[in-house]
Amino acid sequence: MAIELTTLDGTRVSAFCFGAMQFGIGADRAASEDMYTACRNAGINFFDTAYGYSDGLSETWLGDMVRRERDTVFFASKVASSGGSGRQNILAQFDESRHRHKLECVDGLYLHRWDPHTPLEETFETLAGLKDAGKIRY
């Protein structure tokens, strides 16, 4: 069964996703804003960042942009690019990410890297707990 991703207002998520990895390192704030605006004008409403991008600037800046039109944009992020996908690391990185982007809920959250040293049950239970708590939608 396929899941149809939607924004908070029920709009279908665009087929294309814009990754904001360069926000804060390859692109300054003005260029980042311009890229975001160009994507929105082209109909893209799916944006991706990660805990490890640009020492947090990517999450901070993208969060600022998304908050202006929160209900119509799908915001995704990643955790566990470093430190493994154990419960403690996922929760610590996710809490820091939420502090950076200042969103009550992340639409999509996924793992940045495979961790062969952590039991999948621990990883999945942690992600399911975040979903059950209403902190992530997908």
Residues annotated as part of the active site: 53
How many residues comprise the chain?
A: 138
* CA angle at 21 for the pair 12 and 75, rounded to the nearest 5°: 25
